[in-house]
Copies of this chain bind each other. A is one copy, B any other.
């Protein structure tokens, strides 16, 4: 199994915290060092045993670990990539951001002919935020997409894959562009449409409304509680692909509206049936 002397985790939110828990549980690192902008998060991470120690000196962290995980919000990653490229491009590094093309392009720009950065995206997000939302074994059976940059060293790609496999994940290697195109429809569009749905409900003023919300509504809109800062970032970072799928979605909504206005029950039933058969087929797929 892959083992490191010192793993550094910058960003101790739900994902960074969950990674720390598993690294410790599985004995993957001799030492886990956490970094975060918030002193209160660092204190909690130490007190609750997520990490062995914490630091606010990122430059020093980058020089002293043998595996670095960037688990901060996507926008902040760029600044760490610059420091990394300038000070220690041979450090095995990955990230956990939901949008990969922007990051990989930045890596292609900052880094030289051979480097040890490899992008990752564990598909294990949650509407629960922060270190308190961390879970042990979060990645077991979850998909983790690994996206190399143009000049990622092949040995680095293998190491990053081994790391996620050690955490129990199913690893899929994918080009950053393809990843973003797929995630735009499998994750980002659902979030966008759910936000719009919750906003529609929000404008209805009726005292009985709350009493009429069933479990269907609650489950369907659970992702409507996801962190607004993070999701504004994700939407904008993946705008290009998201707008393509949004246009497709609007056409399908229009088709449904036409069938509604047409009132031909058989046509509507047949259309819905195809959708239901497809949706049911997804449950069996891995």
Contacts and interface: CB of A to CB of B under 8 A. Distances in A.
A253 B257 CA distance: 15
A257 B250 CA distance: 11
A260 B248 contact: no
Given A236-B263, A263-B239, A269 B186 contact: no
Contacts of A218: 282-283
A286 interface: yes
A185 B217 CA distance: 10
A224 B186 contact: no
Interface in A162-192: 170, 172, 174, 178-179, 181-183, 185-187, 189-192
Given A178-B208, A213-B285, A231-B272, 6 more contacts: A199-B275, A213-B282, A220-B220, A220-B223, A225-B280, A228-B269
A219 B223 contact: yes
B196 A286 contact: no
A66 interface: no
Interface of A: 123-127, 142-143, 145, 170, 172, 174, 178-179, 181-183, 185-187, 189-204, 206, 208-214, 216-229, 231-233, 235-236, 239, 242-243, 245-246, 248-250, 252-253, 255-257, 260-261, 263, 265, 268-269, 272-276, 278-280, 282-283, 285-286
A279 B212 contact: no
Contact of A193 (B197, B203, B225, B245): B197
A283 B217 CA distance: 11
B186 A217 contact: yes
A239 B260 contact: yes
A227 B277 CA distance: 10
Nearest to A228: B272
Nearest to A183: B212
A216 B193 contact: no
B194 A220 contact: yes
Q: Which of A191, A278, A285 has the most CB atoms of chain B within a 10 A radius of its CB? A: A278
Given A182-B209, A268-B232, A196 B242 contact: no
Contact of A260 (B235, B250, B272): B235
Nearest to A246: B257
Given A202-B278, A239-B260, A186 B174 contact: no
B236 A208 contact: no
A275 B186 contact: no
A199 B270 CA distance: 13
A268 B235 contact: yes
12 contacts: A124-B214, A125-B216, A172-B208, A182-B208, A187-B216, A190-B197, A190-B216, A196-B252, A196-B256, A211-B286, A216-B222, A232-B269
